[in-house]
Amino acid sequence: MGIFTAPWRLSAPVCTLFDIGAASARAGGRAKSIAASAIATSCSASIAAASCGIILSPAGNFFPCCRLFHLPKPSNVPADRPLQKMSKSEPALSPEKPVPALPMALGRPGMAFEQTSCPLCGAERFDLYCEAPDRLQPKTGLLYKIQRCRHCGMIYLNPRPAEKESGQFYEHADYLPFTSLAANRSLTARLYGVLRRANLRWKRRVINDFWQRTKDSERETNNHLPPEGRSFAPCPLLDVGCGTGEFLVEMKNAGWQVEGLERDERVAAWAREQHQIPVAAGHVEQLAASTQQYHIITLWHVLEHLYDPGRALAILAERLRDEGWLLIAVPNIAGLDARVYKSNWVALDAPRHLNHFSLETLSRLGSKHGLTLRWWRQLPLDAFFNALMSEKLAAERNRRKWYLWPLRMLRAFGVACASYLGGSHTPFSYASYGASLVCFFEKSKSKRS
């Protein structure tokens, strides 16, 4: 069985071997024979892999056919066990080494990057998980290192852009959460808009149903509810990272008293003027000095962008009422679609997504800062959007032929269906393999006043 791969995938190891050969030629005849032996060994390994039935994943990685439908292992696997063997030619970047300057397609050339420790446990030892492109400009060939902590298994971007310069990566015209501001939207942006409207209705139903069930349970146990518990109004709701405010409009129409927080002043001003809703411009740290408390605080695909997610959760926990809930939605790095597409998984979104959570790591981060995970679901349409956009990204990177698109769409549909089923919440499920996580956290009793 043959192996087909894009030329750029072979360029790094081949160049490495020829560099060895060139250096050996200068060193002498004995070194020449060693270099020739290394090249021959590499070629023999490739031929042997082809004869054993190796297939190429959408990420460009080789793996045996027998592992194609292998489900990920449960979360009780030891945390020090790596998800992927590292290539000897591509060792993990040591925390002690200086970060090389990277040319950037977005932002200024030579902009500052920084090393960081694990956002969950603080450890500084890691293995390379994958190298991912900027999905907004995949043809530049620039790759960002996604690392996996050896101690706790948390996956995160390292090195990462300096926080003061990170805003430049959100200024691309096709950055989807802000496409409501664009006059002429691309086909991808219009598709995203359709899916977002459907997701907004789903979010409203889930929050309303969850809140009502919670209050019904309290009524049965306590035979008493405060007046605001009998309806959604005037229950205050804060959406952190609200973007252009469509979710707040949906919840306002359902009777909630809504507020928003958005880091981009231009976007916050647009939301205030367009929707007539209170949206403040700023960061989560501003809430530390506030005395306002909320029944529900939501973060829809926000936590993965934050430079200090633990600090953010600690601040938000203080802003919750004793009976309040923190709702966090993130892409699921343990999802089936993430495992299939690997470096081409669109939700890696480097360098904007700094943290990549699974159900286990997100639960541990919340518990560390006084929050207890009580319930989780998945955003139903994320699986289909992620699979479709990941296929598009893989095609752009690997220069696939246009006539293969029907097969790629068929594969995207299959991956999306498998991912959706893997994320279905049942009494027998011990983890989520869906494309996304929607987690409801309750303030721990020890944190209540």
Shared-domain flag, residues 366 and 218: yes
Q: What is the dihedral of CA 13, 101, 59, 147, to 10 degrees?
A: 100
Identify the DSSP state of 346. Answer: G
pLDDT value for 109: 54
Which among 35, 56, 77 is the end of a domain?
A: 56
What range does the domain containing 51 cover?
Answer: 7-56
Q: Is 202 exposed, middle or buried (0-12, 13-18, 19+ CB in 10 A)?
A: middle
DSSP SS3 for 282 = coil
**Count: domains in the chain:** 2
Whether residue 97 lies inside any domain: the answer is no
**Tokens encoding 258:** 């809504």
pLDDT value for 57: 43
Shared-domain flag, residues 188 and 51: no
Edge-to-edge order in the sheet of strand 236-240: 279-281, 257-262, 236-240, 294-300, 320-331, 436-443, 371-377
Shared-domain flag, residues 52 and 197: no
The 3-state secondary structure of the chain reads: CCCCCCHHHHHHHHHHHHHHHHHHHHHCHHHHHHHHHHHHHHHHHHHHHHHCCEEECCCCCEEEHHHCCCCCCCCCCCCCCCCCCCCCCCCCCCCCCCCCCCCCCCCCCCCCEECCCCCCCCCCCEEEEEEEECCCCHHHCCEEEEEEECCCCCEEECCEECHHHHHHHHCCCCCHHHHHHCCCCCHHHHHHHHHHHHHHHHHHHHHHHHHHHHHHHHHHHHCCCCHHHHCCCCCEEEEECCCCCHHHHHHHHCCCEEEEEECCHHHHHHHHHHHCCCEEECCHHHHHHCCCCEEEEEEECCHHHCCCHHHHHHHHHHCEEEEEEEEEEEEECCCHHHHHHHHHCHHHCCCCCCEEECHHHHHHHHHHCCEEEEEEECCCCHHHHHHHHHHHHHHHHHCCCHHHHHHHHHHHHHHHHHHHHHCCCCCCCCCCCCCEEEEEEEECHHHCC
DSSP SS3 for 127 = strand
**Tokens encoding 406:** 């029907």
Whether residue 224 lies inside any domain: the answer is yes
Give the whole-angstrom CA distance, residue 28 versus residue 98. 33
- Which CATH number goes with the domain that contains 217? 3.40.50.150
Which among 56, 76, 96 is the end of a domain?
A: 56
Q: Which of 402, 312, 400 is nearest to 354 (CA)?
A: 312
In angstroms, the Cα distances linking 381 to 201, 255, 266, 268, 420 are 12, 25, 28, 26, 8
pLDDT value for 430: 62
In angstroms, the Cα distances linking 361 to 82, 152, 274 are 15, 8, 37
Across the chain, which has 449 residues, the per-10-residue mean pLDDT values are: 36 37 42 41 40 40 36 39 38 39 44 92 96 87 94 97 85 62 60 80 92 69 47 80 93 94 92 94 92 95 96 96 93 96 95 96 96 92 92 87 86 94 70 91 73
Identify the DSSP state of 10. Answer: H
pLDDT value for 293: 94
pLDDT value for 123: 95
pLDDT value for 322: 86
Q: How many helices (H) and strands (E) does the chain have?
A: 10, 15
**Tokens encoding 300:** 């829809």
Q: What are phi and psi of 34, to 5 degrees?
A: -65, -45
Give the whole-angstrom CA distance, residue 177 versus residue 189. 9
Give the whole-angstrom CA distance, residue 367 versus residue 436. 20
Whether residue 44 lies inside any domain: the answer is yes
pLDDT value for 330: 98
Identity of residue 280: A
Whether residue 154 lies inside any domain: the answer is no
Whether residue 226 lies inside any domain: the answer is yes
**Tokens encoding 178:** 């802000």
Give the whole-angstrom CA distance, residue 449 versus residue 441. 17
- HSE-up (13 A, CA, CB side) for residue 175: 20
Name the β-bridge partners of 294.
Answer: 320
pLDDT value for 402: 76
Please tell me the pTM assigned to this model. Answer: 0.71
Whether residue 85 lies inside any domain: the answer is no
253 CB-near residues (< 8 Å, 6+ apart): none
**Tokens encoding 224:** 């008493």
